[in-house]
Amino acid sequence: MDKTVNQKAWFLVLPVFLVVAFSAVLPLMTVVNYSMQDTFGNNQFFWNGVGWFKELLDPSTDLGGRFLASLGRNLFFSLVILAIEVPLGIVVALSMPREGWTVAACLVILALPLLIPWNVVGTIWQIFGRPDIGLLGYVLNAMGVDYNYVSNDFDAWVTVIVMDVWHWTSLVALLCYAGLKSIPEAYYQAAQIDGASRWAVFKAIQLPKMNRVLLIAVLLRFMDSFMIYTEPFVVTGGGPGNSTTFVSIELVKIALGQFDLGKAAALSLVYNLIILIVCWVFYTVMTNAGVERKVQAESGPAVEPKPSPGLKPVPALKPKEGVA
Amino acid sequence: MHSIPGRRLIMGLFLVFLLLPIYWLVNMSFKTNSEIVSTMTLWPHTPTLQHYKRIFTDESWYSGYINSLEYVVLNTIISISVALPAAYAFSRYRFLGDKHLFFWLLSNRMAPAAVYALPFFNLYSAIGLFDTPWAVALAHCIFNVPLAVWILEGFVSGVPREIDETAFLDGYSFPRFFIKILVPLIASGIGVAAFFCFMFSWVELLLARTLTSVQTKPIAAIMTRTVSAAGMDWGLLAAAGVLTIIPGALVIWFVRNYIARGFALGRV
């Protein structure tokens, strides 16, 4: 089913374009404008050229040091939570009950953390982890672990990571579950006839079918963890010291705390650029994955699941054109 | 074959992990402050409703919920109504710059709210929308509209093209076809998209807090008031937190059969 070329389709897209342009392009222009200037309050602005950018990328200055340190922390945080949440999410998705009312119950409970306002997520863990009134902190301390996320860097990190795992693993699990649900029963039957092991079924049937949704999951999780703000802000306030100050927290500190518009704007642009690049890489990978499948499906004969003794990866049944 | 050994145990442990912190919040909301601070109790020994009573009777508290719901609903309506035609266009036609436009939309979904906080503040102050629900509703469009387009595009693509062609042959005009035929066909998709818009607008705090000051403070911002000179009012904070979970839990119940597909953005 090929799409027809129709330039009039622009009329259908126009409302979206206008709404998003109003919210995205206008403010971004303001940011670009600010990033080139310095202000001494009273709405007096002075041309500063690329000064802020130079400072930002130079670790020896105050601004650059803070930015690069928070960027490093943020990248490390994103990698850690991806390394935990993706495998855990797959395992949870594979553990979903097959049918009956328990499926709906599990889905609802899984989705619950996703619908809690982010500051409340912070509040929940702030309370839960406190050594005096929180269950977690109390139990840990009673067991002899000296746990206090307010004063200890390591504990603060663990709290923030566990909180993120609590908050977002469900998203990965739900995505993977959706991918698993789309596998036709015939695949499993064929694998059973071939006497494939559990692991072989996972590697050759389930994992390839989850490819697509896993990409979405990794993309969403990376992006959202890379711009995380509210939850760590509520729990640790970026501390102790600066140990859990991520890029967004640093940015808000500079922009709304110190009202240093020029610095904040320069930081915003670099921050946005990093996100744009990562986003583009993912997008290209996703689009190419879609195209490759299409080519495979068209050139290869039937895409019947015929697991050979070696159980080669089974190509997708429904190749879909386009993105994601 | 489908699932892994020990799956009941894994699922059970994970659900306990998810529910325990929430239980603790609920537990605390029913305790008196003196019980919270003085003793460690696994369930409220002297259960009280005082915190909930306070929230429901004090206007500065419950108005926060109304304010939040106001901009969330506004945002959902705006997002869905602009995203529907666009989703149709992306799904059916090829036009100049379509791929770039799609990527641009997607990239806005990923843009950090912290970047936009300050410019939004300037923009909405300049056009006089600051401190109205419209400001927050429009600001949240930046991530909800792309998401809605993305989800709906998946659902529209699931509708066979023959249906469009038959309708046009039968003499349906485009708007009539859209409302009478397409919208009912993807009703579940619209439900899912609305659910996601609701969810992301409901959980967002940074923009909502930056764009409001007095009139339309969202509940999330009001909750920070529980810190006072006399120390934290933990019970009240917990009760307010519990009440913010309820709308989400209600909405989830309605779309539970579509959740999984919706999270895959309609394209599995």
Distance of alpha carbon A117 from the chain centroid: 17
Interchain contact, A124 vs B149, CB within 8 Å: no
CB contact under 8 A, B86 and A252: no
Instruction: Give pLDDT tens digits for B149-181.
Output: 988 888 888 888 888 889 999 989 988 999 899
Out of A104, A191, A323, name the one closest to residue B102 (CB): A323
Residue that wins the pLDDT comparison between A90 and A146? A90
Residues of chain B positioned with their CB less than 8 A from the CB of A31 = 115, 118-119
Segment B87-131, tens digit of pLDDT = 999 989 888 888 888 888 888 887 888 788 888 888 888 888 888
Q: Which residues from chain B sit within 8 angstroms of residue A119, using beta carbons?
A: 205, 220, 223-224
Residue A115 forms contact with B (CB below 8 Å): yes
Query: Is A162 near chain B, with CB under 8 Å?
Result: no
Contact assignment for A95 to B263 by CB distance below 8 Å: no
| A71-80, B29-38, B249-258, range with the lowest pLDDT | B249-258
Cβ <8 Å between B123 and A30? yes
| The pLDDT of residue A227 is above 90 | no
Distance of CA B5 to the CA centre of its chain: 35
CA distance A99 to A151: 47
The predicted model gives B58-73 an average pLDDT of 88
pLDDT class of A305 with cuts at 50, 70, 90: very low
Q: Above 80 in pLDDT, residue B5? A: no
| Average pLDDT score over residue span B170-195 | 88
Q: Are A106 and B11 in contact (CB under 8 A)?
A: yes
Among candidates A16, A112, A201 on the partner chain, residue whose Cβ is nearest the Cβ of B1: A201
pLDDT surpasses 60 at A280: yes
Strands A45-47 and A37-39: antiparallel
Reported ipTM: the value is: 0.83
Q: Is the pLDDT of residue B228 over 70?
A: no
**Mutate which: B71, B96, B118, B257, vs A, most A CBs within 10 A:** B118
pTM, whole model, 2 decimals?
0.83
Residues on chain A touching B116 (C-beta within 8 angstroms) = 23-24, 27
For chain A positions 189-208, those within 8 Å of chain B (CB to CB) are 191-192, 198, 201
Window 33-52 of A: residues touching B by CB (8 A cutoff) are none
